Each structure stands twice: as C-alpha cells, then as structure tokens.
Amino acid sequence: MSNNFAAIADRLKFNEQGLIPAIAQQHDSGEVLMMAWMNRDAVIETLSTGRVCYFSRSRGKLWRKGESSGQEQHLVDFRYDCDQDTVLVQVDQKGVACHTGRRNCFYLAVRDGAETIIAEPEVSVETLYGAKH
C-alpha cells in the first residue's frame, strides 16, 4: 500500500519549494477548517497513517497536526483537483483546528467594508498548548 501512496504522491504537482496547498474540511458539516501545506513525505504519511500531517514552513519540518495541542485531524477522504496542484482533505477534526482556539481559521470577514471577527475562541491557548506558550 505504501508503494501505492508513493504513486499518488507522484501524481501531485508540488511547487518549486516541494509543497502543495492542502485544504482541510470537516467531512460532515462541510466547514472549511484551515489551509496548510504538504510536502511529498507529508502526503505519504497522511495516507499511510490516516492522521493528517502537514509540512510546517516556519519550522521547516513535518507537522503532525495535533502533536502539541491534541487537536488531531483524522482522515476521512483524500482528494485532489483537476490540475493535481491542490489537495482537499476531508477530516474529522478533534476539538478546534485553529491555534487561536477557534473551531476554524477563517474567522476574519469583511462586513460593510471593514474587517470583522465573526467567531470567538472555544478553548484558551493555555489549554491547547500549556502554560509554556
């Protein structure tokens, strides 16, 4: 099966940094949770383990979603688009997806021409990451 997953990774078009954008969507509600990036290893690990893994551009390494916060994403369906240059992972999100404690990252919206916060945190950052953060 891991050979098969390598073949899937071969189908994807990674950019000049070796990355592909990945949209995470809650599988049942349709809520768009976040967008992050995967490299080839992250794609294969996600498909192999059923736990969504990204590549952290800031830390320069694989980012197993939830490894610090416990807010894991369990893979329900792995899809990609007509150009094979964007991934859509349909997931079951454990807890909240956003590092601010909000359910999803898209809580800034334009209302009457102005930036407006449309969702509040459901969990404190201290609860998510512990006192050291």
25 binds a copy of itself (CB under 8 A): yes
Closer of 34 and 64 to a copy of itself (Cβ)? 34
Phi, psi (degrees; rounded to nearest 5) at 92? -110, 110
Amino acid letter at 11? R
Contact call for residue 5 and a copy of itself (CB under 8 A): yes
CB burial string 102-133: b at 16+ within 10 A, e below: bbbbbeeeeeeeeeeeeeeeebeeeebeeeee
14, 41, 51, 84: which one contacts a copy of itself (CB under 8 A)?
84
Question: What's the rounded Cα separation, in Å, for the pair 126 and 82?
Answer: 41
Q: Which residues bind a copy of itself (CB under 8 A)?
A: 1, 4-5, 8, 11, 21, 23, 25, 29-32, 34-35, 47, 77-84, 86, 88, 98-100, 102, 105-110, 113-115, 118
Residues belonging to the binding site for Zn(2+) are 82, 98, 105
